[in-house]
Amino acid sequence: MLFKMRVFSIILVLLILGAGVFGTMTVTSANPEVVDDVMVEGNLIFAEIYTQTERYESAIEHCDAVLASDPENTRALELKTECLTELGRYTEALDSGNKFLSLRPEAATPEMLSRMGGLNLKAGEYAGALPCYDAAAKGYDEMLALSPDDISLLKEKAILLVKAQRYDEAEGCYDSIIALEPDNAYAWIGKGDTSLFRGMVEGGQIEDIHIMSDPSAAHNQERMQATDMTAAFQSHQKAMKCYQKASEIDPGLYPLVAAKIMGTYEESINSCQDILDNFE
């Protein structure tokens, strides 16, 4: 029924405007017969269609049309944030996402907070990333208090903690999964990634986001100049053992870790931001 109502709305808008289906259509208030709720609904429908078909610029135009008349429309803000992120316009996406969450604080799920943490990093806002990651971790803790053996939650929390560079805690999550399922090859890969990324930070290959969040602090200035190649080597060796264990459990997974074992994956990483979109 809801779908039929939305289809009716889009047809009504098209008939009123005399617009074609294949152009970039923006419903405006130029026609006095168009009531505001139909205008908003029509633009949201087009924004969703263009977002789904990866026509992000067009989707943003329709989101802006909605926000011009309804600045607190959370659906438009949510879609705009997604589109701006896909276009690499991270600072704008961050502003839109923050406004969305200020209007809909109940939407601040661990998954959403994790995405916002990553968005802060991509926008270069290191100090803003850590509170998002911390709040997301707290949300996972609350859920795991009710379901401590939920492997999906443990995995999601581990991924979050790796992105937040809280490697000891992330390894603990993977160890919990392995304790529940010793032959969970993906948990072994995740544990290997945790050590691999830790080694990259220790060796100075990628930035320490905890330092970058407050680079002026005296103790952080000292840490920024220091690398620990011995620790980096040990972390790398630990990662290799985890990858080998995963491959022993399931030889079919070897292609997933081959580049990491051979070192070519590490050569492709220049920043912690390079990890965000590809580590799951």
Domain parsing of the chain, residue ranges: 1-107, 112-280
**Who has greater pLDDT, 5 or 39?**
39
pLDDT of residue 242: 96
In this structure, whether the domain defined by 1-107 belongs to CATH 1.25.40.10 is answered with: yes
Q: What is the mean pLDDT of residues 145-160?
A: 96
Is the model's pLDDT at 278 over the cut of 80? no
What's the per-residue H, E or C state across the chain?
A: CHHHHHHHHHHHHHHHHCCCCCCCCCCCCCCCCCCHHHHHHHHHHHHHHHHHCCCHHHHHHHHHHHHHHCCCCHHHHHHHHHHHHHCCCHHHHHHHHHHHHHHCHHHCCHHHHHHHHHHHHHCCCHHHHHHHHHHHHHHHHHHHHHCCCCHHHHHHHHHHHHHCCCHHHHHHHHHHHHHHCCCCHHHHHHHHHHHHHHHHHHCCCCCCHHHHCCCCCHHHHHHHHCCCHHHHHHHHHHHHHHHHHHHHHCHHHHHHHHHHHHCHHHHCCCCCHHHHCCCC
Asked if domains 1-107 and 112-280 share a fold, the reply is yes
Is the model's pLDDT at 268 over the cut of 60? yes
> Under CATH, which number does the domain 112-280 receive?
1.25.40.10
pLDDT of residue 218: 47
pLDDT of residue 39: 80
pLDDT of residue 183: 96
pLDDT of residue 229: 86
pLDDT of residue 38: 77
pLDDT of residue 267: 75
* pLDDT cut 90: percent of the chain above it: 65
Q: What is the mean pLDDT of residues 9-33?
A: 49
